[in-house]
Amino acid sequence: MIRRELLPSGGRMLSNERTQVRLWLEKPSLVAWVIAGHGAIEFARMVVAELEELAPLQGDFVIFNDTQRMPGYDPGFRSILTEWSASKRERLTAIHILTASRMVAMGAAVANMMLGGNVKMYSDRRSFEEQFASAGGAPKQFMSVA
């Protein structure tokens, strides 16, 4: 069972014994989320529901996704997230993904082809956080998920 918690900051926490996900709206045009653990398909569905609530209703926006502590995922995990991203393609200007996993990197490369080249990959936390900061974010936010 996945637990859902609303955080005092307005963000969301989803968790079970294997995985923890935290999502938040850094500013109106900047959505961020971090996952630690296995990318189960149930989490993908819940992440999409949370992104629907957090993503701005109007105007362009960017997503930063820290998957560095996600070693792998279920087969449908990427598909669900890619389909949602495709449905927002007109306003979703970029998706920035930090990963240490070859499996996640390959999945992101596939998503990038399906999304018209707007997925930016990082294997280095410093570069990812510098880009997040240049978009107006506070990189320390990514450190609060185990």
Question: For the chain, what is the radius of gyration of the CA atoms?
Answer: 14
Give the rounded distance of the alpha carbon of 23 from its chain centre: 8
pLDDT, tens digit (0-9, with 9 covering 90-100), for 71-91:
999 989 999 999 999 999 999
Q: What is the pLDDT of residue 9?
A: 86
- Please determine, for residue 141, whether its predicted confidence score (pLDDT) is greater than 80: no
| Per-residue confidence band for 121, with pLDDT thresholds at 50, 70 and 90 | very high
Q: Which CATH number fits domain 3-139: 3.40.50.620, 3.40.50.300, 3.30.750.24, 3.50.50.60?
A: 3.30.750.24
Provide CB contacts within 8 A for 16, sequence distance 6+: 1, 2, 3
Q: What is the pLDDT of residue 123?
A: 96
Q: What is the pLDDT of residue 21?
A: 96
Q: What is the mean pLDDT of the chain?
A: 93
Buried b (16+ CB within 10 A) or exposed e, 52-91: eebbeeeeebbbbbbbbbbbebeeebbbbbbebbeebeee
- Please determine, for residue 70, whether its predicted confidence score (pLDDT) is greater than 90: yes
pLDDT, tens digit (0-9, with 9 covering 90-100), for 90-109:
999 999 999 999 999 999 99
